[in-house]
């Protein structure tokens, strides 16, 4: 199939970007979306042009590098699918496709389709872990965890940190991302100990990084390639309220 | 190297993490894990390292739980186990099909704690281009900032490389796209020995290649072999849909060939069996691939149980192939997956250059000629959490801290070299893209240094690679400049190293005139087609030393002594 692409090109963070037209020719249905871009890039190189840069790594939907908005939807229109797992069989000959980077105040564009998602890492660094040092820990089976709780923790821990939730949100909020880590750790007995402190630190960090607040649009859940649920945001809010009124005085 | 440590994996292992906890009360022990690993590696690993690894496996599991890794639990709240290849006990702990990602996030949390404490500074989007050696000791690295193109030196008291494996040399592999050999290879060029480069693992259960423009292959976890049965049609060239082939016309060949281990035969053995079936024309639909069938388990335990155990893998399979594996069997075929070879290290994980330590897949030490499933996570975490903190201290105790800084002339020289090398690459301005060279190199290696090797094929590879490399130097085309984010330049630099390293792989494979584990030479096989080792002549680690660009590397041999495990013919029957 042949496709027409309008791709965001931006040389530097402080430079103005624009949509540039490219033609993708002889694309086969079993190719992935990124393989289609690889083909476009190889043509560009052959003709002496600079390639379109985009973040990618594992190409199996687990590393969270993909940061593209396809036809206005982060990761494209397929449910629970990262860009690398989106295959061209879901497009048809003659389609026009718009490809842009994730857009959010907290994610400055570095070049073309690559954005800086360091803000998400800084939220984690503010407290998104259990403060255990290596060594001197009890036997793995000394901590019993009800299966239902472990399953919920796992549902939340599946977040790949791609930032699609932020780009999908009209407020540019990172609540789903933050809530997934809060829930994951708060569901586990070894994580509960720091939960009040953690939720306050991470919430503060989230606000300082320039992310907005949740307005219950649920766009994040719709865009999440891992199907992380908005219920976790309710859990985040509940943990936050508990912390504010009970144990910990936030900022 | 990437934008975030949370994406710092060379591959996201799916299936699990081995630990000799014996929670399942099925007779597991440290000794048994040690024996399984030594035997799985076909007696080409260093015995002492493997025993230490088996001992540490339990600590790793404890540590990961303490970090909050959400492992699978049973209804009483205890940890669940499953079985992996090459073992007859159930010792693999798992977090759905995302174990690698979850362990990485656990480690990333521990790192984040240190970043917040100010003890670690993170430098994202940087690529190591050179190791700086001063007075024979590793004292820093030269890196390129992948956003600005700036080249800088970082001085240190010691250097740890944790840069993963090189399976991407085959072009198509299950590794993440940015996995490469550059950091390890450039350390090799600075004097670090490279051990057993020919020992690479081809994983039996991956989604088969679908088209000429495919960029990578996707693994379907070995854990699926707990509940899936591998079969091929009994009739040559049977093109019927799998569900239409009656039970009596199916050949469950692993169960037939290896009754004791069945579908859980080790990876090298299973891969070769799959290849043989397909080469002989019995592949699924007459092509390359065999079936991995869950129908029996779905009938017995129900679809929900399968979804709970492997749901994300079934989803991934459907996204890539468009097929529903709950309704029809998966099609699978072997693919390059893991490098047992790597930079040579001693028991302290120190390379042949004092001050340079190598961890995880980047070193060679623990898996011998074949790695068992769920052991990569175990080794990576053992190296990082429990070995290096102790062993690096020994080196640091002997060296004066802050001996050199980045103003030293060696840093300047290294930086200048890196800069002029990049300029040279950019100035070629030929007609072929770096990826085209990579595809050609991958084809040469896959055909001649892949699952099955022969003296003839290896010699052919050694003839084909140098001209390809020469052509690369004269005909590669890289657009863009060196002082900006330039993925084409990054790619070309890595492929240039692959083009040199591929030759080392072939040379090592040619010199090892025996079959062991994943290194299968057709000249050296048992009557029933098994790998025939030659313990008399090849019971050693081959450590290669770089001797200059146009000279042959020198071979050093580290003899392998087995004091506790008995050298035996590996049998899984």
Let me know the angle formed at the C-alpha of A184 by A183 and A190, rounded to the nearest 5 degrees: 110
How far is the C-alpha of A23 from the C-alpha of B506, rounded, in Å?
40
Point out which residues pair with A5 in neighbouring strands: A22, A97
Architecture of domain B429-538: Up-down Bundle (1.20)
B-chain residues near A185 (CB < 8 A): 68
Nearest to A65 among B7, B66, B319 (CB): B7
Q: Between chain A and chain B, how many beta carbons pairs sit less than 8 Å apart?
A: 218
Q: B519-528, pLDDT tens digit by residue?
A: 999 999 998 8
Query: Is the domain of A18 the same as that of A96?
Result: yes
Distance from CA of A79 to the nearest CA of B (A): 11
Query: Is the domain of A123 the same as that of A198?
Result: yes
Secondary structure (DSSP) of B276-326: HHHHTT-SGGGSS-EEEE-HHHHHHH-HHHHHHHHHHHHHHHHHHH---TT
Architecture of domain B203-336: Alpha-Beta Complex (3.90)
The whole-chain average pLDDT of chain A stands at 96
How many CB atoms neighbour CB B203 within 10 A? 27
Query: Is the domain of A126 the same as that of A236?
Result: yes
What is the separation of C-alpha B233 from the centre of its chain, rounded to a whole number of angstroms? 31
Nearest to A147 among B74, B210, B385 (CB): B74
Give the chain A residue whose CA is nearest to the CA of B432.
Answer: A46
Which residues of B carry out catalysis?
A: 267
How far is the C-alpha of A223 from the C-alpha of A233, rounded, in Å?
15
The residues near A159 (Cβ < 8 Å, ≥ 6 apart) are A176, A177, A180, A181, A184, A224, A226, A228
How far is the C-alpha of B448 from the C-alpha of B436, rounded, in Å?
19
* Token pair in block for residue B331: 């099609």
Please write down the HEC assignment for all residues of B444-504. Answer: HHHHHCCCCECHHHHHHHHHHHHHHHHHHHHHEECCCCCCCCCHHHHHHHHHHHHHHHHHH
Query: Is the domain of A84 the same as that of A135?
Result: no
Furthest-apart CA atoms within chain B: distance in Å: 74
Q: Helices in chain A by DSSP H: which ranges?
A: 33-46, 118-125, 147-157, 164-168, 175-186, 189-192, 195-208, 219-223, 231-242
- Cβ contact B181:B496 at 8 Å: no
- Cβ contact B558:B540 at 8 Å: yes
Distance from CA of B280 to the nearest CA of A (A): 27
Q: B304-348, pLDDT tens digit by residue?
A: 999 988 888 999 999 999 999 999 999 999 999 999 999 999 999
Domain boundary at A65, A91, A111, which? A111
pLDDT at residue B13, as a whole number: 84
A residues 97..136 contacting B (CB < 8 A): 110-111, 114, 116-118, 120-121, 124-135
Q: A118-128, pLDDT tens digit by residue?
A: 999 999 999 99
B-chain residues near A130 (CB < 8 A): 66-68, 109
Please say if the pLDDT value at position A109 is more than 60.
Answer: yes
First to last CA, chain B: 44
Secondary structure (DSSP) of B72-97: -B-TTSPBP-B--TT-SS--EE-STT
CATH 3.90.700.10 residue spans of chain B = 203-336
Distances (CA, A) of B34 to A182, B167, B321, B349, B566: 38, 26, 38, 19, 12
Distance from CA of B218 to the nearest CA of A (A): 7
Q: Enter the CATH code of domain B5-124+158-199+340-398.
A: 3.50.50.60
Which residue positions in chain B have pLDDT lower than 50?
none
How far is the C-alpha of B42 from the C-alpha of B88, rounded, in Å?
17
Nearest to A50 among B11, B64, B479 (CB): B479
CATH number at residue A176: 1.10.1060.10
pLDDT at residue B550, as a whole number: 80
Distance from CA of A137 to the nearest CA of B (A): 6
Please say if the pLDDT value at position A229 is more than 70.
Answer: yes
Domain boundary at A94, A111, A128, which? A111
The residues near B199 (Cβ < 8 Å, ≥ 6 apart) are B44, B339, B340, B341, B364, B368, B369, B370, B517, B518, B519
Give the chain A residue whose CA is nearest to the CA of B479.
Answer: A50
With CB atoms and an 8 Å threshold, state whether A140 touches B112: no
Q: Which of A63, A82, A133, A186 is most worth mutating to test chain B (most B CB atoms within 10 A of its CB)?
A: A63
CATH number at residue A26: 3.10.20.30
Q: Which of A140, A145, A149, A162 is most worth mutating to test chain B (most B CB atoms within 10 A of its CB)?
A: A140
- Cβ contact A62:B218 at 8 Å: no
B-chain residues near A35 (CB < 8 A): 213-215
With CB atoms and an 8 Å threshold, state whether A157 touches B70: yes
B-chain residues near A41 (CB < 8 A): 488
- Cβ contact B260:B570 at 8 Å: no
Query: Measured between CB atoms, does B279 come within 8 Å of chain A?
Result: no
Query: Measured between CB atoms, does B191 come within 8 Å of chain A?
Result: no
Query: Is the domain of A193 the same as that of A225?
Result: yes
A-chain residues near B61 (CB < 8 A): 140
Domain that holds residue A25: 3-111
pLDDT at residue B14, as a whole number: 85
How far is the C-alpha of B544 from the C-alpha of B554, rounded, in Å?
6
Q: What is the CA radius of gyration of chain B?
A: 23
Query: Measured between CB atoms, does A65 come within 8 Å of chain B?
Result: yes
Query: Is the domain of A148 the same as that of A89?
Result: no
Sign of CA dihedral B191, B192, B196, B198: negative
Query: Is the domain of A122 the same as that of A8?
Result: no
- Cβ contact B77:B65 at 8 Å: no
Query: Is the domain of A71 the same as that of A125?
Result: no
How far is the C-alpha of A226 from the C-alpha of A205, rounded, in Å?
24
* Token pair in block for residue A94: 């003659």
B residues 42..61 contacting A (CB < 8 A): 58-59, 61
Q: B20-61, pLDDT tens digit by residue?
A: 999 999 999 999 999 999 999 999 999 999 999 999 999 999
| H or E segment and range at residue B418 | helix B409-428
Query: Is the domain of A100 the same as that of A123?
Result: no
With CB atoms and an 8 Å threshold, state whether B435 touches A135: no
Q: Of all residues in chain A, what percent carry a pLDDT higher than 70? A: 98
Query: Measured between CB atoms, does A80 come within 8 Å of chain B?
Result: yes
pLDDT at residue B1, as a whole number: 67
How many CB atoms neighbour CB B299 within 10 A? 9
With CB atoms and an 8 Å threshold, state whether B113 touches A120: no
How far is the C-alpha of A139 from the C-alpha of B66, rounded, in Å?
9
Please say if the pLDDT value at position A248 is more than 60.
Answer: no
How far is the C-alpha of A7 from the C-alpha of A14, rounded, in Å?
18
> Any idea what DSSP says for residue B330?
E
Sign of CA dihedral B528, B529, B534, B539: negative
Q: Which of A26, A57, A137 is most worth mutating to test chain B (most B CB atoms within 10 A of its CB)?
A: A57
* Token pair in block for residue B413: 């020289």
With CB atoms and an 8 Å threshold, state whether B67 touches A64: no
Domain boundary at A111, A141, A161, which? A111
Distances (CA, A) of B399 to B157, B162, B250, B319, B404: 8, 22, 64, 53, 11
Nearest to A89 among B5, B19, B322 (CB): B322
With CB atoms and an 8 Å threshold, state whether B215 touches A35: yes
* Token pair in block for residue B145: 């900032």
Query: Is the domain of A94 the same as that of A182?
Result: no
Query: Measured between CB atoms, does A38 come within 8 Å of chain B?
Result: yes
Q: Which of B63, B73, B171, B307 is most worth mutating to test chain A (most A CB atoms within 10 A of its CB)?
A: B73
Strands A3-9, A96-101: pairing is parallel
pLDDT at residue B43, as a whole number: 97
Nearest to B4 among A133, A135, A161 (CB): A161
Domain count, chain A: 2
Distances (CA, A) of B321 to A92, B11, B70, B367: 17, 21, 29, 32
How far is the C-alpha of A218 from the C-alpha of A231, rounded, in Å?
10
Query: Is the domain of A15 the same as that of A105?
Result: yes
pLDDT at residue A247, as a whole number: 63
Query: Is the domain of A98 the same as that of A210?
Result: no
């Amino acid at each position: 199939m042949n496709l027409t692409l309008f791709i965001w090109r931006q040389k530097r963070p402080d430079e103005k970007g624009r949509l540039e037209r490219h033609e993708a020719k002889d694309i086969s249905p079993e190719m992935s979306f990124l393989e289609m871009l690889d083909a476009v890039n190889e043509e560009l190189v052959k003709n002496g042009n600079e390639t379109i840069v985009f973040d990618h790594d594992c190409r199996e939907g687990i590393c969270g590098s993909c940061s593209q908005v396809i036809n206005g939807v982060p990761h494209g229109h397929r449910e629970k699918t990262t860009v690398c797992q989106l295959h061209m069989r879901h497009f048809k000959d003659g389609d026009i496709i718009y490809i842009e980077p994730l857009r959010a105040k907290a994610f400055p564009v570095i070049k073309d389709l690559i954005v800086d998602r360091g803000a998400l890492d800084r939220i984690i660094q503010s407290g998104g872990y259990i403060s255990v040092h290596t060594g001197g820990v009890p036997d793995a089976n000394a901590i019993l965890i009800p299966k239902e709780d472990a399953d919920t923790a796992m549902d939340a821990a599946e977040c790949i940190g791609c930032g699609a939730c932020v780009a999908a949100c009209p407020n540019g909020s990172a609540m789903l991302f933050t809530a997934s880590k809060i829930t994951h750790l708060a569901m586990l007995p070894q994580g509960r100990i720091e939960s009040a402190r953690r939720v306050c630190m991470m919430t503060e960090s989230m606000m300082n990084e320039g992310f907005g607040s949740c307005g219950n649009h649920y766009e994040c859940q719709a865009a999440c390639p891992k199907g992380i649920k908005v219920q976790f945001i309710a859990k985040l809010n509940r943990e936050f309220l508990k912390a504010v009124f009970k144990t910990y005085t936030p900022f | 190297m990437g934008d975030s440590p949370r994406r710092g994996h060379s591959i996201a292992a799916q299936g699990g993490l081995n630990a000799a906890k014996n929670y399942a009360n099925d007779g597991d022990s440290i000794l048994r894990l040690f024996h399984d690993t030594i035997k799985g590696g076909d007696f080409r690993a260093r015995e002492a390292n493997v025993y230490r690894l088996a001992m540490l496996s339990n600590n790793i599991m404890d540590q990961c739980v303490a970090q909050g890794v959400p492992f699978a639990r049973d209804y009483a709240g205890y940890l669940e186990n499953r079985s992996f290849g090459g073992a007859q006990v159930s010792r693999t702990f798992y977090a759905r099909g995302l174990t690698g990602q979850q362990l990485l996030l656990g480690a990333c949390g521990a790192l984040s704690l240190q970043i917040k404490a100010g003890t670690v500074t993170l430098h994202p989007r940087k690529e190591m281009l050179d190791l700086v050696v001063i007075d024979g000791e590793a004292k820093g690295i030269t890196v390129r900032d992948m956003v600005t193109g700036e080249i800088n030196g970082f001085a240190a008291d010691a250097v740890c490389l944790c840069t993963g494996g090189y399976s991407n040399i085959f072009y198509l592999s299950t590794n993440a796209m940015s996995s490469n050999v550059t950091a390890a290879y450039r350390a090799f060029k600075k004097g670090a020995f490279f051990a057993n480069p020919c020992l690479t693992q081809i994983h039996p259960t991956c989604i088969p290649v679908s088209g000429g423009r495919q960029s990578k292959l996707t693994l379907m976890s070995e854990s699926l072999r707990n509940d899936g049965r591998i079969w091929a049609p009994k009739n040559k060239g049977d093109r019927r849909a799998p569900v239409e082939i009656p039970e009596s016309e199916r050949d469950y060949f692993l169960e037939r060939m290896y009754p004791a281990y069945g579908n859980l035969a080790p990876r090298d053995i299973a891969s070769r069996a799959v290849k043989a079936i397909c080469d002989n024309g019995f592949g699924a639909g007459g092509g390359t691939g065999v079936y991995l069938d869950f129908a029996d388990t779905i009938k017995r335990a129900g679809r929900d149980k399968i979804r709970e155990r492997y749901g994300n893998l079934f989803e991934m399979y459907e996204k890539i192939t468009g097929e529903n594996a709950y309704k029809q069997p998966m099609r699978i075929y072997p693919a390059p997956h893991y490098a047992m070879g790597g930079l040579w290290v001693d028991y302290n994980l120190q390379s042949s250059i004092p001050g340079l330590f190598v961890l995880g897949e980047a070193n060679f030490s623990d898996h011998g000629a074949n790695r068992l499933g769920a052991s990569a996570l175990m080794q990576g975490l053992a190296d990082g959490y429990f070995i290096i903190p102790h062993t690096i201290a020994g080196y640091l105790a002997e060296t004066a801290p802050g001996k050199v800084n980045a103003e030293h002339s060696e840093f300047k020289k290294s930086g200048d070299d890196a800069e002029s090398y990049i300029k040279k690459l950019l100035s070629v301005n030929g007609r072929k893209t770096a990826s085209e060279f990579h595809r050609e190199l991958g084809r040469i290696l896959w055909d001649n240094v892949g699952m099955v090797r022969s003296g003839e094929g290896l010699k052919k590879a050694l003839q084909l690679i140098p001209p390809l490399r020469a052509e690369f130097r004269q005909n590669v085309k890289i657009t863009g400049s060196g002082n900006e984010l330039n993925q084409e330049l990054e790619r070309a630099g890595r492929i240039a190293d692959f083009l040199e390293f591929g030759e080392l792989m072939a040379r090592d494979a040619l010199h090892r005139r025996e079959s062991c584990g994943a290194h299968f030479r057709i000249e050296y096989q048992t009557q029933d087609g098994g790998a025939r080792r030659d313990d008399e002549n090849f019971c050693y680690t081959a450590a290669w030393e770089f001797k200059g660009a146009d000279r042959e590397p020198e071979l050093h041999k580290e003899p392998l002594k087995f004091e506790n495990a008995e050298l035996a013919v590996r049998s899984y029957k």
